[in-house]
Structure 1
Amino acid sequence: MDINGWLETIPPLAVYLLVAGVIGIESLGIPLPGEIVLIGAALLAAKHTGVSPLLVGACASAGAIVGDSIGYAIGHRFGEPLFDKLGRKFPKHFGPNHVDTAKRAFDRWGMWAVFVGRFIALLRIFAGPLAGALKMPYWKFLIANALGGIAWAGGTTAVVYYLGMVAEKWLGKFSWIGLVAAVVVGITSALIMKRRAGKHQPAETADVSG
C-alpha cells in the first residue's frame, strides 16, 4: 500500500474540520482523542499534503475555545449534579476519582487550572464543564481558556510539524511509522494520567476515613 499516495488524497478541508470538530467535542467534556488528531494533522502538514500547519493550529485553537465555552455553559446551567449523573453512566471517564482530581486542581490553581488543564488529558475534558459548575466568572475562564487553547494548539502543531519535517528525510516512504508513534505516545500519556488519578484518590479517601 502506498501510504504517501493515500495521505495525499485526503482533502485539507476535511482535515481542518476533523481537527476543529474532535477537539471541540472533547472540550465539551466528551472523551475523544483530540491530541492524537492534532498530532496526526500536524504530521500530515509536514508531509506536504497541501495541509497548512497554520490552519491546523487555528482550527485546533478555535475548536478548543468554542468547545470549552459551550462546556462551561452546560456546567453552569446544570451544576455539579451533572457530574454525578455522568459518573453513574460513564464511570470510566467521569468516575468520582477523576472528578475529585479535577476539583482539587481548580481549588488549588483557580483559573490557572483552565490554562494548564489544556495540556493535561484529564483536565482538558473537565475544564469547561467543571469551571461552569463551580461558578468561575466567565471572563476569567475565557481569558485562561483562550490563552491555553492557543498555546496548546499552536505549540503542539509547531513542535510536531517541525519534528516531522526533520524526520521526513529519515523516514522517507515509511512515514507511517511517525503516525503510529504519535498514536502510541498519545494513548500512553492518557493511560498514565488515568493511573495517577486512580492512585491519588484512594490515598486521600483513606486519610479522611482514618
Structure 2
Amino acid sequence: MTSTTTDTSWLGSLIDAVIGLMDLIGPIGAGLAIALENLFPPLPSEAILPMAGIAAHDGSFGLWEAVLWTTVGSLVGALALYGLGAWLGLRRLRRIADRLPLVAVSDVDRTVAWFHRHGGKAVFFGRFIPIFRSLISIPAGVARMPMWRFGVLTTAGSLIWNTAFILCGWFLGSGWHIVEQYVDVVQNVVIVVVALAVVVFAASRIRSVRAARRQDALEHVDESGPSETRTDGIPISSGR
C-alpha cells in the first residue's frame, strides 16, 4: 500500500507511519495504531481507520481482518486505561483530588455516583466521541464496573465506530481526503468544546473558592466581636 497523502504535517506523518505498520505486519499494525490512539487521544482514529479500509480495498488484507484487529486494538487500549483507573481506586483518587487546587473530593464522589447510574451508556456511546472515548475507561476502572460488562460495551461501541470508518476508506479509496477535512472539523469542534468546559469549570471553581474565603473571613470577624474605634480609626482598648 502506498501513501495516500502528500501532507507534511504531523497528521500526514502519522498516516504514513500507520501505512508503514500495515505494510509491515498487516492488519495487526492497524490494531496497534488504534490501541495507541486509545492511550494517546490526540491520535485520530478518524484518520487511522480509513487507511485500514483503503489497504483492505487494495487487497493487502481482508476487510473482516481490518475490522477484527482494529476492534481488538480498541479493546486492548481501553482495558489498559480501565486498569489504570482500577489501580488508582476511589481512595487514592480522593487523596489526589484533595491536593489539587481547583478540585474537591466531592467532585470525585459525584462523578463516581453518576457513573454508577449511567456508566453503561457512557462507555457505549462514549466510543463515538473523540477524546471522551479514551478517558471514559478511567472512571469505569475507578468505579470497578464489572470487567466483562465494560469489555462487552467497549467492544460493541468500537465495532460500530471502527466498521463505519473502515467502510468509508473501503468505498472512497484515495478520495477519502475529501471527507477527512470535514471529520477534522468535527474533531476540532469537540476539542474546543472540551477546552471551554475545562475553562468554565476552572472559572466556576475559582469563584467558589474566593466566595468561601470571604465567608470564612466574615465569620472570623463575627466571632472576634465588634471593636470600638475613635474618629481617627484607631481601635480603643477595652481595658480599664
Show the 5 A alignment for 1:1-210. 12=23, 14-28=25-39, 31-46=42-57, 48-79=58-89, 106=115, 109-162=118-171, 164=172, 175=174, 178-179=176-177, 181-182=179-180, 184-204=181-201, 205-206=203-204, 209=208
Q: Give the structure-1-normalised TM-score.
A: 0.67
CA–CA separation in structure 2 for the residues paired with 1:71 and 1:186: 25
Larger radius of gyration: 2
Structure with more helix by fraction: 1
> What RMSD over aligned residues (CA atoms) do the two structures have, in Å?
3.8
- State the identity %: 22
Report Cα offsets for 1:120-173 as digits up to 9, x if no partner.
1121221222311232222321221121121211232224423x1xxx6xxxxx
What are the ranges of 5 or more consecutive residues in structure 2 without an aligned counterpart? 5-15, 97-102, 212-240
CA–CA separation in structure 2 for the residues paired with 1:55 and 1:13: 15
How has the CA–CA distance of structure 1 residues 108 and 190 changed in structure 2, closer, same or farther, with 3 Å as cutoff? farther
How has the CA–CA distance of structure 1 residues 24 and 200 changed in structure 2, closer, same or farther, with 3 Å as cutoff? same
CA–CA separation in structure 1 for the residues paired with 2:37 and 2:123: 14
How has the CA–CA distance of structure 1 residues 77 and 3 changed in structure 2, closer, same or farther, with 3 Å as cutoff? closer
Report Cα offsets for 1:80-116 as digits up to 9, x if no partner.
767x98xxxxxxxxxx8xxx9xx59847731111111
Cα distance, 1:67 vs structure 2: 1.7
What are the ranges of 5 or more consecutive residues in structure 1 without an aligned counterpart? 86-95, 169-174
The amino acid that maps onto 1:22 is A
CA–CA separation in structure 1 for the residues paired with 2:50 and 2:132: 19
How has the CA–CA distance of structure 1 residues 34 and 178 changed in structure 2, closer, same or farther, with 3 Å as cutoff? closer
The amino acid that maps onto 1:20 is G
| Count of aligned residue pairs for this structure pair | 180
User: Higher RCO, 1 or 2 (CA under 8 Å, sep at least 6)?
Assistant: 1
Contact 1:28 1:129 in 2 (8 A): no
Q: What secondary structure is seen at the aligned counterpart in 1 of 2:61?
A: coil
